[in-house]
Structure 1
Amino acid sequence: MQGRKKVVRELLFDPEIEKTAKANRKAARLARQAARLASGIQETSKGESSSSHTSDDETESMAGVDPPPRRTLGDYGQAANGQNANLGFQPANPVSFDIKNTVLNALKENQYSGAESECPNIHLAHFYEACGYADPPNISESDKRLRLFKLSLTGRAKDWIDTLPSGTITSWDELELKFRERYFPIHKFLERRNDITNFEQGDSESLYDAWEKFKLCLKKCPKHGLDNHAQMQHFTQGLRAQTRMLLDASAGGSLKNKDESEARELVEAMAHNDYRVQNDRGAKKKAGMLELDTQTALLAQSQLMNTQMAAMFRASNVPI
């Protein structure tokens, strides 16, 4: 026990220990608040430093560039920098060439407005014809048509083509397809094809007028899918009995014995003669036309009977 040393710690006596403890707690609380405040100031300083760097970078990137002009609410819808807000339809690769007056006149003579009374297929036929007058050097046929087609439109049809997004049409085939989809949809195609397959000659319509009307039906629906033989069948079956009788007599007995080309040549020849007779006699009246049809039918019937009798006599070797 003698080797151990007693350590005696001297304790200080504090007569106001509660007051001292309260002061110590307050000092600790203030120290913690000071630490949090110092930490917030440091983070704020870092953020401001980063923001200042970004601002400097933006300032440097905008060096030498004029700021955009101030626009007020009254400027809404107005063009900026003197440029047109909408230039209308433009193909993906527009070309430029001089357009002759003959081409412009041909295009404007047959402009298409999209009205129900107009035929888009006939318009395309006129457009192709007008394009034939233009032959710019080093310009493809597709680019030429893309350049000229808008000039052949007017009214609502011209408004329609301007709704097509510029730079999306790369060839004339694409634009023609969109034009047909808009103005010659499937229901109109079926109507025009039905005009061919169910063709009928009018009561007071001559052979010439009926033939011209039928050919116009073919032009209004060029992709009808009917060959020449089917076309002639639909036409002849739609003729009145008197007209078919006349054609049979002129064919030497029956038009059914002729092939397609022979029947077409016969119809063309008789329609031409009919047109010439109409012009020689001047303007026709409805009553006169009916009278002429009756006389023509009687004449055709007489010719047919004579032809049949002659054939019978030849077959029986009886001299006529």
Structure 2
Amino acid sequence: MADNRTMAQMLQAPIEGYEDAIVVPPINANNFELKQPLINLVQSNKFTGRQDPHNHLRFFNKVTSTFRHPEVPNTSVKLLLFPFSLDGEARDWLDKEPPRSILTWDDLVSKFINQFFPPSKTTYLRNKITNFFQEPNETFNEAWERFKGLLRQCPHHGFSELHQLDTFYNSLNSNDQDALDSAAGGNFLDKMPQEGLAIIESKSKVRYSRSRANDSRVSTDAPLSNSSSSNNSLICTK
């Protein structure tokens, strides 16, 4: 078909290609509106590309879970709000994604994580978890908190709860292994995973409590323990 536009018309900037990367499914609901307070809350913790993307998603999911509408899927709300939660480098990344290339919330999460938590970082943290060991002069509680911290940094590590407990147990010095065996009434690894986790958490609390008590009795010139209290959270198994 012949192009009947004039040269001036042909030289004009195109009007296509300006659609957003995120495609939000049509919302056919009465009285649907995203309230400004919800948008403000999302914007209160913007991700710039320098923070932990997993923590950002956790915060974002908590915020958006407060919105409920019987006719609107929560995933649609997330797709609408997510751009408001980005700034700087992260916003630039989203703006550069091809138009209409993100069709679902899972698509968005996958692209976001792969952009700001690349596979190389996953491999690095998985190796740190696999090769974890209790450092010299590190208390049981300190080792446990450090181990859980590595797991939280990489929630998609893929290690089963059994693998995690086995790795941690075998990373300990002989005294702490013996203490776990004693608390288990035999071989620690003969326990069910949930029982083993409960034993570790209990031992961690007791050791921390004793450490705090000892700290209150030592002189001000003595070094203080660097132990931090357990957050009682289960090991990540995602």
The structure-2 alpha-carbon separation of the partners of 1:199 and 1:108, relative to structure 1 and needing over 3 Å to count, comes to farther
Q: Deviations over 1:290-313 (max 9, x none)?
A: 9xxxxxxxxxxxxxxxxxxxxxxx
Amino acid at match of 1:101: P
- Give the TM-score, by structure 1 length: 0.55
The structure-2 alpha-carbon separation of the partners of 1:189 and 1:270, relative to structure 1 and needing over 3 Å to count, comes to same
CA distance in 2 between partners of 1:286 and 1:162 (Å): 55
Q: Deviations over 1:53-89 (max 9, x none)?
A: xxxxx9xxxxxxxxx9xxxxxxxx9xx9xxxxx7865
Q: CA deviation at 1:265?
A: 0.8
User: 1:143 is paired with a residue of what secondary structure?
Assistant: helix
Question: Is residue 210 of structure 2 the alignment partner of residue 274 of structure 1?
Answer: no
CA distance in 1 between partners of 2:84 and 2:91 (Å): 8
Q: CA deviation at 1:234?
A: 0.8
CA distance in 1 between partners of 2:26 and 2:188 (Å): 54
Aligned to 1:101: 37
Residue number among 5, 28, 48 corresponding to 1:113 in the alignment: 48
User: 2:156 is paired with a residue of what secondary structure?
Assistant: coil
Amino acid at match of 2:33: F
Q: Deviations over 1:203-261 (max 9, x none)?
A: 34332332232223222222222211111001111223332232223223432332322
For structure 1, which runs of at least 5 residues remain unmatched after alignment?
1-57, 59-67, 69-76, 81-85, 291-320
Aligned to 1:134: 67
Contact kept? 2:39, 2:84, Cα under 8 Å: no
Query: Would you tell me which structure has more helix in proportion to its own residues?
Result: 1
Question: Is residue 207 of structure 2 the alignment partner of residue 207 of structure 1?
Answer: no
Q: RCO higher in 1 or 2 (8 Å CA, sep ≥ 6)? A: 2
For structure 2, which runs of at least 5 residues remain unmatched after alignment?
227-238
Amino acid at match of 1:114: G
Contact kept? 2:166, 2:189, Cα under 8 Å: no
Aligned to 1:72: none
Contact kept? 1:201, 1:240, Cα under 8 Å: yes
CA distance in 2 between partners of 1:171 and 1:109 (Å): 24
Q: CA deviation at 1:189?
A: 1.4
- Give the TM-score, by structure 2 length: 0.71
Contact kept? 1:99, 1:134, Cα under 8 Å: no
User: 1:205 is paired with a residue of what secondary structure?
Assistant: coil
Flag the structure with larger Rg. 1
The structure-2 alpha-carbon separation of the partners of 1:134 and 1:100, relative to structure 1 and needing over 3 Å to count, comes to farther
User: 2:134 is paired with a residue of what secondary structure?
Assistant: coil
Residue number among 71, 76, 91 corresponding to 2:23 in the alignment: 91
User: 1:165 is paired with a residue of what secondary structure?
Assistant: coil
The structure-2 alpha-carbon separation of the partners of 1:204 and 1:138, relative to structure 1 and needing over 3 Å to count, comes to farther
Provide the aligned C-alpha RMSD in A.
Answer: 3.6
Q: Deviations over 1:107-146 (max 9, x none)?
A: 345432212xx32223222222222122244221221111
Identity %: 28
Contact kept? 1:89, 1:166, Cα under 8 Å: yes
Contact kept? 1:120, 1:180, Cα under 8 Å: yes
Question: Is residue 190 of structure 2 the alignment partner of residue 254 of structure 1?
Answer: no
CA distance in 2 between partners of 1:99 and 1:286 (Å): 55
The structure-2 alpha-carbon separation of the partners of 1:237 and 1:179, relative to structure 1 and needing over 3 Å to count, comes to same
The structure-2 alpha-carbon separation of the partners of 1:286 and 1:123, relative to structure 1 and needing over 3 Å to count, comes to farther
CA distance in 1 between partners of 2:26 and 2:83 (Å): 13
Amino acid at match of 2:96: T
Residue number among 169, 173, 182 corresponding to 2:102 in the alignment: 169
Q: CA deviation at 1:187?
A: 1.1
Q: CA deviation at 1:287?
A: 4.7
Aligned residues: 211
CA distance in 1 between partners of 2:143 and 2:202 (Å): 14
